[in-house]
Structure formats: structure tokens, C-alpha cells
Amino acid sequence: MQFLENFQPELTITSPGRINFIGEHTDYNMGYVLPTAIGNKITFKFSRNDSYNECNVFSVGYQGFSFDLKEIAVSDVQWENYILGVISEISKLTDKVRGFDCTIESNLPLGSGLSSSAAMECGLAYGLNELFDLGLSKLAMVELSQRAEHTYVGTQCGIMDQFASVMSKEGHVILLDCRSLEYQYIPIHIAPYKLIMLNTKVSHNLASSEYNTRKMECEQGVAILQKSNPEVMSLREVTRAMLEKGKSEMPSKVYDRCSFIIDENDRVIAMTEALKKNDLKTVGSILYTAHEGISNLYEVSCPESDFLVDFTKDNDAVLGARQTGGGFGGCTLNIIHENAVDAFIKEASEAYKNKFNIELEAFEVQPSGGTQVI
């Protein structure tokens, strides 16, 4: 692209991916989540270009595209929609954005359940807020980025990924109540254990449509339970007793989905307590129980993730493991003793290659800070 020849960025922003300790699919059910940003991130470089409307965006590895601020519409190229969606949502709040040039570079594996999409949306929103002095709060940027995903990308996601990308704090996880948006930072000390991600390298294309289906199934459960419990607004307010009472009125799949969400919310609270007490054995066992639910009740796992989680079970150096993120592939999160990490990765990679003929990717992550100006 032509602007690259003389590009002199005036602003650099980094926007991280995230992991979620526990609390999967609870965000759009108004429950709790426990995510944190990680060191893998997207770097944006920005410059105003003195035009009124013309914008140029170049993504290393993807090529670039140009657009006119006055003619924003959904693109056939999916990654462009992360950009266009954010611009469209910002334009509903302010008319201060002008022409700009931007380069994007990422060391965040895409489509791996580490929320590269939220990192993209939030990094752009944060950058434009700085560049044009838009005066948006962090929460406003989180919320507009989430809306961009709904309107331009088509996934009816909750708020966890955008919140984690912007609001995270180094060395902590965020206990976020997705109903009130109240949050607390919980310090995390897991030495001599490490957080190791195993990337299945599969991202089954069911993900977006099945995600929206899960959301609808949860809403169906709420609608059935509301008949006898009019105070219930979301699965957050549903107790185990209410669900068991309504079981006969709902399709078994809807019951399973609701059952998972109720347990998963409880697991977030139990995990928070275990982390506060440094009770790593409990932390690990909660991960395993959660994966059972992800696989059997919520049915958002896949053979590759199940294989990697099962593979850890005979290894005493692994405290726990589960698939993290929206599902159908991506990464598993593993808590492994530091002395055993190298041998574990070697064995898991061989076993995975034998079974699926895919080269496993393994890397350590650390709870890191959120989106920032460099």
C-alpha cells in the first residue's frame, strides 16, 4: 500500500489476547468469568493522514484495505469486519474521527480461542480514542467493541473477551460479574507450576453458528423457567432446585446447557477461593471438571481438545487442563510443574502428531496487563 512508503507512526498501541481460567459461556448468561490478558498481542501503529475520510489499514500477513469513513458497510472479507465494525460503532458516538493510516502486526495465534478478535477491536478503538481525543472511557471502548462483533462479525458474544483485553492487570485474573460489570483483581501465584497453552491448531467452522445456537438454547431454558419463576431474567438467577423442577418441561439438550451454566458459575466462585488460598490441587481439579461439562453437557469441545485434556490425566506433574475460549478447538490451558514442562510438551506433541497428524504448538503464558499506549 502506498502509505507504507513514508509511514511515520505517531502512536503505537498494544492489545493483548486473553485466557479464561474458568467461566466459559457464562458471560452472555450474566454470570461470572475469571479471565486475564496474556503476553501475546496485536501491535497497532497509527498516524493521521490529513484527509477527511480516507483510511488505510495494512495487516502484516493479510494485506491491506482502504475505506471511506462516510461509506462504512459490512465486508465479504471477515477480518476487515473487526475494523469496520468498530468504526461504525464509534461513529454512532462521535463524529471526531478523521482519515488515518494504520499497520497491524500480531503474535497472537488467530482462531485459537485466545480472543484475537477482541484484541483487534479493542486495539483499534483504543488507538482512535487516543489519536482523535474522543474522550471514550475504557468501558465505553469495551462495550462498543462487543457491539461491533455482534453487528459486523455476527457472533452474539458476551463481554468477557473485550473486558479482559482492555482491563487486565499484570499478575492477576479478573473476577468479573457480567451482570453488574463489577470486578475485582485476584492475584495469581502458581509457582512452581506454569500455565502452558497447547494449540490444537483446529478451529472448526461450527464455532460462530453453534455459539449463537448455545446462546439461544440458554434463552429457551430461561423462557421455560420464567413461567414458574417470573423473577428470573437470565440463567444467573436460576438455582439448581429451580432447574430440576423445570426439567420435565424442557428438551434434554436445553436442560444440559442450563445445567452446565449453573455449575460453571459455581466453579468460578470455587476457583476464586482456591486461587486466593493457593490451593493448586483444587484449581487443577476444577479445570478437569469444567472440561467434562464443556465436552458432555455444553458440547462445545472437539476430538482434538478432548484428546489433549485426556492425555494429561496420567501425568502427576499436570494439576489440571481444559479447553479454553468459545470452543470447537483452539487451545487447552494446562497447569504443569516447571520441572516437567519440556518432557510433557515433547510427549504430548508426539502423541498428537500420531493421532491427528498435526504439529502441536505449545507456549507458556503469564497474566499480563491490558491494552496500552507504548
Question: Residues in the site for ligand GLA, rule: CB under 6 A?
Answer: 20, 24-25, 27-28, 115, 157-158, 160-161, 325-326
Q: 82, 102 in Cβ contact below 8 A?
A: no
Whose CA is closest to 127, among 84, 159, 97, 85? 97
Q: 335, 282 in Cβ contact below 8 A?
A: no
Nearer to ligand GLA, 167 or 345 (CB): 167
In this structure, what C-alpha cell is assigned to residue 360?
Answer: 502441536
Catalytic position from the list 27, 101, 161, 256 = 161
Whose CA is closest to 301, among 280, 329, 335? 329
Nearer to ligand GLA, 160 or 287 (CB): 160
Q: Helices (DSSP H) in 21-137: which residue ranges?
A: 78-91, 116-131
Q: Helices (DSSP H) in 6-113: which residue ranges?
A: 78-91
Q: Which residues pair with 329 in a beta bridge?
A: 203
Cβ 300 to ligand GLA, closest distance in Å?
8
Cβ 101 to ligand GLA, closest distance in Å?
29
Cβ 206 to ligand GLA, closest distance in Å?
13
d(CA 250, CA 224): 7
d(CA 228, CA 46): 54
Cβ 93 to ligand GLA, closest distance in Å?
22
Q: SS3 for 8? A: coil
Whose CA is closest to 326, among 161, 198, 121? 161
Nearer to ligand GLA, 172 or 214 (CB): 214
Nearer to ligand GLA, 108 or 131 (CB): 108
CA distances for 187 relative to 33, 97, 139, 332, angstroms: 15, 38, 22, 22
Nearer to ligand GLA, 258 or 341 (CB): 258
Helices and strands, counts by H and E, the chain: 10, 13
Nearer to ligand GLA, 49 or 155 (CB): 155
Cβ 32 to ligand GLA, closest distance in Å?
11
50 is catalytic: no
Cβ 91 to ligand GLA, closest distance in Å?
23
Catalytically active residues, by annotation: 161
